[in-house]
């Protein structure tokens, strides 16, 4: 009996499909904690590396999913967005009763694909807000998710709070349990709200980093020789594999366009002020400084970026399936709060 069909996870096996930075780090973390976990990667060389390091991995998708079905595993789709349709089809064929989650950075498009296949009763979306500019198994490492936000979606319950099944509630708990097990902070959000938020704080920074990298490079050899911390930090994510950046930005284009338009308006105003008689960027800089301070306070950072030992996100205790638990999730979404599941 698969993951969606039992309400308490109790170290249920986890099957990770895709062993890149996120999937590979999840495999490493769960393995380190003694969790039964195995995975698939299409690259035989990456699988060999993982197996040589003592992990349970395979390059045969069919065999991996059939094993997930036999062992009642929770399936985590950790592939790039373009591969999700074929992965969902494979799960339908080879693991027809397993619960499914994912770690894709865009949620509305994934949920649409899930609903098209009638899989919404078996699906709870996820998105760990963690990563680096590197990719592949060799980039994966333990503790990547420690203290990070991990979005867990709840659209199925929000759409019909009274009609959601016990099986789905159990699956939601399972996904939250896995996220918590690797040190992440569970933040509930519906798919559309999530996508609007990450367009601003994840996808837009990629676009701005690419633009900044181009402008710096256009300055020639001297500019690049003089580039230091601010340029390095501002362009870090421009080092991400282009296909991954395109997949996240283009799939979330509507929300990203809104955020990009807002950014362009700010820059146009700043340019006008800089070109004016006073040649000032005071308005932009002061507002940006205040916004950064608010972010640091929420993230639990001291001035200068040092950690204060944990986030300052509000906390709500939630018992999945209890009366008004969906209202609690909606409240947490509005507050950007993390939830402790009991």
Tell me, yes or no, whether 229 and 161 share the same domain.
no
How far is residue 55's CA from residue 51's CA, in Å, rounded to a whole number?
5
Q: Are residues 163 and 57 in the same domain?
A: yes
90 and 206 inside one domain: no
> 173 and 25, same structural domain?
yes
Q: Are residues 173 and 55 in the same domain?
A: yes
Positions in the chain whose pLDDT score sits under 50: 1-8
For residue 217, give the CATH number of its domain. 1.10.3660.10
Q: Is residue 273 part of a domain?
A: no
CA dihedral 164, 166, 167, 172 (to 10 degrees): 70
**What pLDDT does residue 139 have?**
92
Whether residue 178 sits in one domain with residue 198: no
* Distance, CA of 201 to chain centre: 12
Assigned domain for 278 exists: no
Same domain, 217 and 185: no
pTM above 0.75, yes or no: yes
- What one-character DSSP code corresponds to residue 123? B
The answer to whether residues 89 and 33 belong to one domain is yes
Domain boundary among 258, 276, 303: 258
Are residues 157 and 242 located together in one domain of the fold? no
**Alpha carbons 293 and 157: distance in angstroms, whole number:** 35
Measured CA to CA, the distance from residue 173 to residue 229 in angstroms comes to 42
Q: Establish if 330 belongs to a structural domain.
A: yes
φ and ψ at residue 333, rounded to 5 degrees: -60, -45
Residue 162 lies in a domain: yes
Q: Choose the final residue of a domain: 258, 279, 297.
A: 258
In a domain, 279, yes or no: no
Determine how many CB atoms are found less than 10 A away from the CB of residue 34. Answer: 8
pLDDT at 280: 96
User: Collapsing DSSP states into helix, strand and coil, what is residue 38?
Assistant: strand
DSSP string across 266-320: HHHHHHHHHHSTT---HHHHHHHHHHHHHHHHHHTB-TTS-B-SS----EEEE-T
Most distant CA pair in the chain: distance in Å? 73
Here the CATH number for the domain that contains residue 114 is: 3.40.50.720
In a domain, 291, yes or no: no
319 lies in which domain range? Answer: 3-189+312-341
pLDDT for 302: 58
82 and 210, same domain (yes or no): no
Residue 89 domain-assigned? yes
Point out the domain boundary residue: 240, 258, 276: 258
- 63 domain residue, yes or no: yes
Domain count, the chain: 2
Which of helix, strand or coil describes residue 127? strand
The predicted structure's pLDDT at residue 7: 39
How, if at all, do strands 37-40 and 57-58 pair?
Answer: parallel
Count the Cβ atoms, other than its own, within 10 Å of residue 141. Answer: 13
> Does one domain contain both 156 and 78?
yes
């Amino acid at each position: 009996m698969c993951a969606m069909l039992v309400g308490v996870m109790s170290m249920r096996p986890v099957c990770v499909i895709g062993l890149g930075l996120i999937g590979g780090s999840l495999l490493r973390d769960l393995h380190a904690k003694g969790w039964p976990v195995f995975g698939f990667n299409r690259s035989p060389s990456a699988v060999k590396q993982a197996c040589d390091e003592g992990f349970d991995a395979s390059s045969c998708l069919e065999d991996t999913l059939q094993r997930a079905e036999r062992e009642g595993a929770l399936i985590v789709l950790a592939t790039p967005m373009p591969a999700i349709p074929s992965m969902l089809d494979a799960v339908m064929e080879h693991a027809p009763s397993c619960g499914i989650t994912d770690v894709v950075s865009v949620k509305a498009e994934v949920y649409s694909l899930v609903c098209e296949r009638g899989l919404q009763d078996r699906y709870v979306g996820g998105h760990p807000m963690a990563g680096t500019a590197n990719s592949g198994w060799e980039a994966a490492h333990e503790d990547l998710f420690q203290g990070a936000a991990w979005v867990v979606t709840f659209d199925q319950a929000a759409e019909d709070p009274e009609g959601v099944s016990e099986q789905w509630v159990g699956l939601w708990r399972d996904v939250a349990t896995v996220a918590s097990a690797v040190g992440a902070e569970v933040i509930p959000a519906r798919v559309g709200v999530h996508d609007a938020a990450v367009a601003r704080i994840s996808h837009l920074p990629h676009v701005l980093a690419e633009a900044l990298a181009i402008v710096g490079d256009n300055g020639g050899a001297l500019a690049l020789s003089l580039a230091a911390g601010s340029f390095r930090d501002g362009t870090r994510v421009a080092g991400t594999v282009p296909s991954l950046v395109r997949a996240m930005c283009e799939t979330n284009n509507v929300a990203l366009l809104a955020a990009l338009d807002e950014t362009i308006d700010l820059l146009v105003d700043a340019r006008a002020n800089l070109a004016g008689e006073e040649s000032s960027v005071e308005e932009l800089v002061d507002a940006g400084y205040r916004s950064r301070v608010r972010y640091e306070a929420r993230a639990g950072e001291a001035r200068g970026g040092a950690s204060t030992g944990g986030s300052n996100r509000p906390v709500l205790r939630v018992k999945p399936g209890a009366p008004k638990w969906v209202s609690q999730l909606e409240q947490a979404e509005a507050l950007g709060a993390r939830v402790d599941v009991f």
